[in-house]
Each structure stands twice: as structure tokens, then as C-alpha cells.
Chain A
């Protein structure tokens, strides 16, 4: 067991929980989007911690590739969510 791996994995769990709590409790849609991004970052930290093998050893590249994919998917989902929020506000202004 590696101390570094455990530390980062536990921090990942805490960050994920913070994001989940924010996404469920915030009323502002923009803050919910930020919270979901924080939650994703917690999951990424978990995966990168799992991939870590210790100093000087090559880490497992598969979780790295998964996180890279995740980052790009997260930004596209964020962009779509923001466009939806903008349209929602525009509709409300018309009412």
C-alpha cells in the first residue's frame, strides 16, 4: 500500500462528495454545473490515484486515457448545459 495513493484517493472521495452535495442543494443552475464539474474532478482524482504505482515506476496508462476522455466529455457536457441555461433564462425573460 502506498501512502500517496491512499491520500489522493481519499481526497478524491471527499471532493466527489462535496460536488454531489453542491449539485443536489444549490438552487442556482450555474452553481449546479460547477458542482457537477467538481464531482467529476473527484472521480478523476480517484482514477489517477489508482493508476499511480509509486515514485520511479511507470503508472498504468489506461486510467490516464479514461480521465483524458472524461475531461473532454465533461467540458462538452458543461457547454451544452450552459447553452440550455442561457435559453431557459431567455424564455423566462419573455414571460
Chain B
């Protein structure tokens, strides 16, 4: 493609993206806003592809648009009916803000000023010669990282600390969700057409997750994209009204939730015992260790995202859970 047509493509894509961002926030109908936000996320994935970031494009399509969209749509579905106008909590539920015109203008000007300052700083930074020390250091050490996909090398080797803490953030979020109440009740069993689709879709999604996990070592993919795909299989099962969606019960569930952080920490601490710095893999073992950590991380990420979609601790089918319920007799949710 020549430069001119690419420029037209960029312009149209960015206009659509900015337009969708604006439209999803300007509407007072929340359901409409969420659906526009999902479209916004999918076009973002196209933009990441255009800017040669296929790993991010996959994650955006699966997590940013897909699972965030599913979470938000489920929340819109649960949203209580709007209260009659004039009641005390009216402004909580309605889309229109009860702020004065002056405040609206002040906030708009503030946001515009912030964007302007940021743009000015960026243009300033772009006009100087780029510092390529970091990319050169990565390509120079890629052979010792155990993988050939530079993004996976950064995530799981060069900056493994970030990913360890990110998995800890995920675990914290799901513990927070657990503490806020029980899971929402499931959906009605699906009709024959959707049920038939689910029978095909779920095995394909599981296979796809395994492929993304494996291919992440040398091509776009990895634990996050794979975990999101695996979680999507569970979300589809849940939407089809199945009671079993692939999550283990009780203690096993806790182990799966903590597996990502746990295995990561175990690898790091074992390396310390062997006299190496924390999470500095020996080059000969790096590939295998990264795959081990990524497998555990994928399972944890999938469980976390699926639990987030359930919106709380799942009602276990085990006897122990029934005993727990009797003992606690939760007043609501």
C-alpha cells in the first residue's frame, strides 16, 4: 500500500475511534454506551495491528473489548430499574449529571488543557532523536531470554517483576470481589441453536488458548491472551445456562486462583536458593521456566476473569459449602 492510502486509512480509523469514544460517553443510555465502548475496543485492536503491536491487539480484542464488554453488559443487565425522577437517589442512576453549566465548562476546559499540554510535550519529545538504548539492549540479549518474541521476553524475563506484581493485582481484585458478596444467579438454559454453538465453540476456545500459550514464545500470544480465551469459554458456558462452567470447587479453586503468583514466587525463590538473583533464570532453563510460569499464570488469569464475570464467590456444589451457607445464612445477594 502506498503512503497516501495509508494516511487516509489512519485518518478514517482515528476519526472512528475518537468518534466512538465520544459517542459512548455522550449518550445517557448506559446499554448503548457500553455497546459503543465494545466497538471502540475492537477498533483499537485494529489500530494496535496498524502500529505493529499484534500482541497488544490480541489482548485488546480478547480482554479490553471482549471480557470488559461482557462484564459491563452483565452489570447493565443487573442495574436496578431507574427510580422515579425527583427521588433522593435519582442522580445515582440517571446518566445526566446534576452539575451546573459552569462546572461542565470548567471540567471540559481542564481536560482540553491537559490534552494540549500532553500533546505539546509529546511533539517536543518526538522532534528530538529517539533513545534506542532499551530496544537495542533487548534485541542484544534476546538470545539469552529463552524466547524469541521480544514482548514475551520483556514480560516474563527482563521485567518479570512487573508481571509478578500484575498477577498479584489480579489476585487482590478477585479477593475484593469475593468479599463483596456471592455470585449472581446463573442464566436460563439456552435454546437448541445457542446450545449447539456452545458445543462447538468451547472446545475450539480451549484449543485456541493452548495454542496462544505455546506460540507466545516466538510469535504474538502468551499467558494473558490465552487466559482471556480460556475465560471466554467459561463465559460462553455460563451464558448458555450451564451450572458447571469449568471452575473447580472449594480448595482447588483457591489453588488455581493463586497458582500464577505462587509458581512465579516459587521459581524466583528457588533461583535465590541456587545463588542467582531473584527471577534471573539461567539461560539454558529460561524457556522451560517461562512456559511453566505462563501455564500457571494462564490458569489463574482465566479463573480470575471468570470469577469477575460471576461477580462473587461461586455457589459450590460441595457438601462443605452447603454447611457453610447454613452456618452463615447470608442476609442478601
A contacts, CB < 8 Å to B? 1-11, 13-22, 24-31, 33-35, 37-38, 41-42, 44-46, 48-53, 58-62, 64-69, 71-80, 82-87, 89-90, 92-94
Contact = CB atoms under 8 A, between A and B. Distances in A.
Chain B contact patch, size range: 35 or more
A69 to B, nearest CB: 5
B79 A30 contact: yes
A72 to B, nearest CB: 6
B52 A59 contact: yes
A40 to B, nearest CB: 9
B284 interface: no
B11 interface: yes
Contacts, number: 255
B interface: dominant SS: helix
A64 B56 contact: yes
A23 B305 CA distance: 24
20 contacts: A2-B126, A9-B126, A13-B118, A13-B122, A22-B25, A24-B107, A34-B24, A34-B34, A41-B44, A48-B47, A52-B51, A64-B56, A65-B154, A65-B162, A71-B60, A72-B166, A78-B72, A79-B173, A82-B71, A87-B333
A67 B21 CA distance: 19
Contact of A29 (B67, B92, B132, B173): B92
Contact of B21 (A38, A59, A69): A38
Contacts of B134: 60, 62
A47 to B, nearest CB: 9
A26 B122 CA distance: 29
B37 A86 contact: no
